[in-house]
Structure 1
């Protein structure tokens, strides 16, 4: 069994840094375990249900913040050690390639992928709802306002192009 797993890992890892991905997953799992432990130690519990408005805020805020971290020009210094600038991919968004091998590559994929970041951000938002719901809702409302503003900016730009 171990030999088969080793063969699969060797064949697969020529293309993908599996061990580094496993470590990144380990960091995520450790963070979730630490949050659960902190909740128990402080007597805080997860809500029995999530209100529809909280789910809406969490969804839009997660979308906006994951795109901000993964694609925004201003956050490129966070990604620079792990990515290489390629060009512009859309309005106020950059296209970058992941650089390096191993951990550097795995972290670069995480930081440059809004879909990958969304799970981490949503987990942080959920933790915020347990430990600091008021501040978390305010942050969520702020990111939601930014997302709606982005969509309105894009719609406005499209209307201007159509009107010309």
Structure 2
């Protein structure tokens, strides 16, 4: 009997990978968005805005990489709610990042994309991992009681398996 993954798992994986790819592309061509801010007048402001943009993009890549690693290791693989939330937020982040890239808008929009489309799924991922690890730590699924071997009768093993729940 093989395990069957829900359909949301490949959808989640694809949306996370799309979000990482578009974020990497934005990181390579970040000068378009940094220069798209109309209020930048001198080189110091341009350098500061570029540094802020690099920091935001690095956070997005790091947080989504953490989600990919936890998905690959199976920490939240069978949590359908987490799969749906992560896939929807990351696909929304992918679409918003596409608008950021092709619209050449100001780089301040990346912080909104980071907060909504990256930080929220990371928070729910961490909560899901803690919930799963806490449940596994405090749950002993089965306990074997009354283990007897009675050779006089034709009973070989008498097991009574009770659940602790």
- Normalised to the residue count of structure 1, the TM-score between the two structures is 0.32
- Normalised to the residue count of structure 2, the TM-score between the two structures is 0.31
Going by fraction, where is helix more abundant, 1 or 2?
1
